[in-house]
Amino acid sequence: MAEEVLDEWKIALREKKEELENCQKHHHLKSCMKCEELLTCTLRDSYIKAVYDSMSKGVGGGFEF
């Protein structure tokens, strides 16, 4: 299997995902959806931003709901 080439956006996403998963483990949760801090969580917000940045390579836009 070829080694995946990681750009700065994928590296940041991987780091944020690991931080989020560690938080979930710490709180004994499998998902953020049952967390009391879901709507105010800065860690989750930074993960979501890293996902969008990874998808757009930091260019922004195009991800409106």
Structural domain boundaries of the chain? 10-26+42-57
Closest CA to 50 of 23, 5, 4, 10: 10
Q: What was the pLDDT predicted at 56? A: 81
43's CB contacts (< 8 A; 6+ apart) are 19, 20, 23
- Unique residue bearing structure tokens 């940045």: 53
Q: What was the pLDDT predicted at 61? A: 60
User: Whole-prediction pTM value?
Assistant: 0.76
CB atoms within 10 A of CB 3: 5
pLDDT in tens, 13-64: 999 999 999 999 999 999 999 999 999 999 999 999 999 888 887 676 655 5
